[in-house]
Structure 1
Amino acid sequence: MATQLDPSALAGDRPRHVAIIMDGNGRWAKARRLPRAAGHKQGVEAVRRVARAARDLGLEVLTLYAFSSENWRRPAEEVQDLMGLLRHFLRAEIATLVADNVRLRVIGDYRVLSPDLVSMIDDAIARTAANTGPILVIALNYGAQAEIAAAARRLAAAARDGALDPAEIDEARIEAELTTAELPPLDLLIRTSGEQRLSNFLLWQAAYAELLFVDTLWPDFNGDTLAAAIESFSRRQRRFGGL
């Protein structure tokens, strides 16, 4: 779906990096008396729409929370469905990502997934690595607390081995150890479905991000919804602790 907002018409700043907690697939399906798998399938369609809209709106980075480290607690059948949809997305969309000059990144410990899926992810990352356009980041088996703990362990090991003075560990040094180190700072974090929590997503990165909670269920999210979120962001005043 084409977006109705012309990015050049925005009066304020535009975000470079937007992240979305994609929530509401199950409720979307329940409202229609459909199985949860149907909601997840429609959620994948929303990913396609929103990724294209993000490119059209000039975003540099779009980060999507696809599967958290806590999602393993869901029923095995649902997890299997989600992994099947991920396979389908990679097969169906990789050519489009290449053609659209989009670079794919994955954050989170995705290597614990099945070997065939890991291979597909590695192949998709490799095939888009030379692209110079917007970056699509997929968070898979991701948890922000685990990310921060892993960064702390690496810094502690470097200090133990004498390669790092503990006094040199500051915010910038920690950020350099995070999986998002090479990305622009997070500007806007959106959560769909009306829930108002971060659910262990980009906790460090969201320290000064603008937060936007929308009632729209993820399968209904589209380019116009994203454009409206960006317009809302452009009207906000970001002070970063100053006046």
Structure 2
Amino acid sequence: MYGRSFPALSVFGRVLAVLLTVVLVSACQSTVKHVETIKRPGNSTRIVLMPLDVELSELSAAGMNEPKAEWTEAARRHLSVAFDEQQADLGLSIAAFDDSKASPEVVDTLHQLQRLHEKVGTSAMIHHFFDVKKLPTKHGKFDWTLGTTARTLREATGADYALFVWVRDSYASGGRVALMVAAAVLGVGVQGGSQVGFASLVDLETGDIVWFNRLMRGAGDLRTVEPARETAKVLLADFPK
């Protein structure tokens, strides 16, 4: 496997990356669950899977991250299939959101919610799981929301919940790997890499995140089918039924 490192991230992502270097020793996955079951009495619950917010990059010897469109497309494809397979095991109805049938207004709202989800999810990872960054106003509670704008998706899809997924993954180039090996000989550690992401289940009536699972580790490869399947399983671990 290639060496791993953080891809180009937003401001929130860069803060997360700095914190992650402190704790990334082995696989790290934590779930916050507000609901044990998402079945609503008398109704079959429908979950809409939002377009996957995934990006794969290559890390150069100089430490620059270069997004790779082909890798990213493969990762989205593999993860989409993997999530589709997972719904049978979970006993749920999870349908991918089809923006080709949505109005321009709904598509615009979708894009806004995805950007908001990145910011809210990354903030949750930083401020809920890292003791040094905990927010005193939260009193230890996982209290995060995308707001009532999420109702737009409920009206457009008829779904009760939306599943959002955000993943950033990268792989060191040959030059970076060589640098890591040379540095190791000299007793110097050069950052390898990670697979970092989170999945959120959002109640489309309130916009509240009722289930949240983070992924932080130095293993995995979304460019191929089987590792992508494994990542999907990790992201959906302890999913409410």
TM-score above 0.5: no
Place the TM-score, normalised by the shorter chain, in its bin. Answer: 0.3 to 0.5
Q: Which has the higher strand share?
A: 2
